[in-house]
A = this chain, B = another copy of it.
Amino acid sequence: MHDHAGTQAGSGGCGHHHGPEEALARAEAVCRARDLQFTRLRRDVLEVVASQARPLGAYDIAERLSATGKRVAAVSVYRALDFLTENGLVHRIASRNAFVSCGHAHSDGAGLVFLICRSCGTIDETTSPEVEDGLGRTLAKLGFKPASRILEVEGECGACLERAAAED
C-alpha cells in the first residue's frame, strides 16, 4: 500500500538510521542482562525491522521473513514484536500501525519523540527535555499522573527540505 522511495531508504541520507548490527548487538546485551531468550525468530524480526528506517507493519515483516523460504505467520511476528517492544528494542508507531527499531540506547522507552517524514517516510527518534519539562508542568497543574505517553510528529525531515530547496 505504501512502498516507494527505494527499498533501503536509509541510503539517501535522510535522518540517521543505525542499521541492524547495532540493534542486534544491543538486543543481545539486553537479553543477557535480563536473562531473556533472544531466539531465532525474535532475532530475525528485529533484523528485518532494523534494516529499514521506515516503519514496517507486522504483515510486511511476516512477508519478508517468509520470502526467504520458511513461512512465518503474522501471529508469530506479533509475539516477537510484543517481546521486542516490552524490552524497548522496537517501538510501535500508533499513527501508522507499524514498528521501527529503537535507535537510541535509553533504558526505558519513555520520553521519546518520533519524527515521521511525509516525503521519504523515514522515522527519526529523539528525546526532548524541554518537552518533558513542559509536559510535566502542564500535567502537574491538572493533577494528572502520567504513566506512559506517545508523541509522534509528522512533517518534512531536514534532508528532504534540503533536497527540495536544491531542486529549485
Q: How large is the interface on A (under 10, 10 to 19, 20 to 34, 35 or more residues)?
A: 35 or more
Segment at the B interface, from A34-42, A75-83, A145-153: A145-153
Q: Which of B118, B126, B132, B142 contacts A142 (CB 8 A)?
A: B126
Q: Are A155 and B144 in contact (CB under 8 A)?
A: yes
Q: Are B138 and A147 in contact (CB under 8 A)?
A: no
Q: Which of B118, B138, B146, B158 contacts A128 (CB 8 A)?
A: B138
Residues of A92-137 at the interface with B, using a CB-CB cut-off of 8 Å, are: 94-95, 113, 115, 117-118, 124, 126, 128, 130-135, 137
Residue A44 lies at the interface, judged by CB distance under 8 Å to chain B: no
Q: Are B145 and A161 in contact (CB under 8 A)?
A: yes
- CB neighbours (8 Å) of A126 from chain B are 138, 142
Q: Are A147 and B130 in contact (CB under 8 A)?
A: no
- Render A41-68 as a binary contact track against B, CB cut-off 8 A, 1 for contact: 0000000000000000000000000000
Nearest-neighbor residue (CB-CB) of A131 within chain B? B134
Given A94-B94, A158-B142, A135-B153 contact (CB < 8 Å): yes
Q: Are B149 and A153 in contact (CB under 8 A)?
A: yes
Q: Are B153 and A144 in contact (CB under 8 A)?
A: yes
Nearest-neighbor residue (CB-CB) of A156 within chain B? B145
Cα distance, A152 to B150, chains bound together (Å): 5
Cα distance, A143 to B159, chains bound together (Å): 8
